[in-house]
Chain A
Amino acid sequence: MTNPATKPHRGTIHLEEAAILTHQAYPGDQYVLRVQAPACAAKALPGSFAHLQCDPLLAMRRPLSIMRVDPQQGWVEFLYKAVGEGTRLLARRQPGETLSLLGPIGVPFQVHPERPRPLLLGGGVGIPPMVFLADSLRADTAWQPFVVMGSEVPFPFQARPSQFLVPGLPEGVIAAMPLLEDWGIPSRLASLQGYPGVFEGYVTDLARAWLQGLTDAERTEVEVFSCGPHPMLEAVAHLAREFDLPCQVSLEEFMACAVGGCAGCTVEIQTPDGPAMKRVCVDGPVFDAQQVFR
């Protein structure tokens, strides 16, 4: 007989026919999708993703990070950019319709109490897991997170001036994400597009300014968390190394099964025993940055 104690992985991912509750379009082909998926909502953690059937015409699902969940009400929310066939078909789906959702999947971000100053860096459609992580930190005031979001298309929210004074930042960089403001979490925005109140430059440049504004003692309490385009993650990993900070990044790779069965989504990881191929879907998507970027 199967001993459940030796097979803790069993039954951890749920297949749900999820009703679309809201589906909001934003400039830059961005969409916020909220679906009813109570089993996924109950178990999702910051960094988890879901594998969605965008349209019955497609043979494959598409992976999207989970941005927010409400375990009580049973909904799950995504932010995605329509970039190709799958996400464009998804964008056409209407509230009231259902779509098949497989989730939650993946190893989540791990925060550590001895590092109470998490630095969250999200770029483009890497914003969602950072929002989820921020959401999970707000209940306990011991956490003092700082969030930087970057985007080269208009942000999928109406930025507003921050109520929080953050030392070290260049003058005039005051635009913040309203949701995080409401949660009492300081944030700032970065872009090369010259949006008002937004830092003109890279996420990592603003993050560096923030780190330099901390005392040495404060800096030892920082841990970096990031999700975004690959070149950004590489820059984040270098920044973390420069300041000798632990750093976790969420990676993307093309996926077929998303449950560990096909080895289609692997990335090369450096381990003490040499290089190893790890699956982004179930060994990740969150990895130690120093194992990914040399």
Chain B
Amino acid sequence: MASTDQNHKLRIDFCGMKFNSPLVLLSGCVGFGEEYTRVAGFSNRDVGAVCLKGTTGSARLGNPAHRVYETPMGMLNAIGLQNPGVDRVVDGILPTLDFDETRFIANVSGSTIEEYIAVTRRFDDSPIDAIEINISCPNVKEGGVAFGNDPDMSARVVAACRAVTRKPLITKLSPNQTDIAENARRCIEAGTDGFAVINTLMGMAVDIETRTPVIGNNQGGLSGPAIKPVALLKVHQVHQVCKAHGIPIIGQGGVTTAEDALEFLIAGASAVGVGTALFYDPLVCPKINQGILAYLHRHGLDQVGQLTGSLSLNQSPVRHTPACGG
């Protein structure tokens, strides 16, 4: 990590794992952990953990083109969980990763509960540090968000995975649901150790010349700065449920600067995910780390963890505020 004897201030404990920094590289943005090391100056050591691409029981070719498209302050993606299948990931890819550099987290997906169980079980018997259950992928027909938007189904998936692994289990929640706090409550009962909040929001872009959706899958997941306010509120809401249980959150959605990361920490996150921002600046993480350190120094704080959930809400700011916020 870049310079200074201050770096210890960035260390956190996340579900029993030691992170050198609260930053986490997000699933689907960094392939299977080595892709970004192509960029000179990039290092997995700059982050606390790296989440690998969503992995399923058997190989998936993914969705047709176009799979990515820029939108105002963000982008749509519909990759469709392209991955070589869990056996190839465990046997072929994990042995090539350097576990000295950072913690590696698997991202598990499936079309059935049985598939979630099988993939989790396979990762349980591997060097992977933790398992993130993706019940919020908007880009596949079965499973994914169909599970994540139903608290009953979410809890069933989490309980089923919990039964087959002792590794830290992180549940990735969808913002595309009515009551994320209720869902979080059910997932805690089902045995999750942590949360990732939020996955992408569903969206569409239309090509007005052809009158077809730009994205091959018709709809895609919206990420990047455009979704940050939504993500912050969801992190705050989930934190309200989590804090009594000491369950940590990887806050994510549109983080591009240290200020963004600080907002997430204050709203209730213990760690902060960086995904889409890498596409614009592959070397953004050391800058965010430095910015967080400068803030800690300025505020006389010893540990980044002191910020988590330090938000104090405004007390009845205006009387008779309509619920719609208008």
Contacts and interface: CB of A to CB of B under 8 A. Distances in A.
A260 interface: yes
A165 B276 CA distance: 53
Interface in A65-109: 86, 100, 102
A261 interface: yes
B165 to A, nearest CB: 26
B15 interface: no
A14 B40 contact: yes
Given A2-B98, A102-B282, A257 B35 contact: yes
A263 B67 contact: yes
Interface in A9-33: 9-15
Given A15-B39, A266-B67, A266-B82, A257 B225 contact: no
Nearest to A276: B61
Contacts of A53: 280
B67 A265 contact: yes
A7 B40 CA distance: 13
Interface in B11-69: 28-31, 34-41, 53, 61-62, 65-69
A264 interface: yes
A89 to B, nearest CB: 12
Nearest to B280: A59
Interface string B229-254: 00000000000000000000000000
23 contacts: A2-B98, A7-B37, A10-B37, A11-B41, A13-B40, A14-B39, A60-B75, A60-B279, A61-B280, A254-B66, A254-B67, A255-B68, A256-B276, A256-B279, A257-B35, A258-B279, A261-B36, A262-B279, A264-B77, A264-B79, A266-B67, A277-B62, A277-B82
B6 interface: no
B70 interface: yes
Given A15-B41, A59-B224, 9 more contacts: A15-B281, A59-B70, A59-B74, A59-B276, A256-B68, A262-B31, A263-B53, A264-B67, A276-B61
A266 B67 CA distance: 8
B209 to A, nearest CB: 12
B59 to A, nearest CB: 10
A15 B278 contact: no
Interface string A246-279: 0000000111111111111111100000011100
Contact of B38 (A12, A59, A86, A256): A12
B interface, over-half SS: loop
A107 B137 CA distance: 31
Contacts of B101: 2
A173 interface: no
Contacts of B224: 59
Contact of B35 (A59, A260, A266): A260
B53 A259 contact: no
A2 B282 contact: no
Contacts of A12: 38, 40
Contacts of B37: 7, 9-11
Interface string B211-224: 00000000000001
B97 to A, nearest CB: 10
Nearest to A3: B98
Interface string B270-303: 0000001011111100000000000000000000
A53 B281 CA distance: 9
B73 interface: yes
Contact of B65 (A1, A253, A275): A253
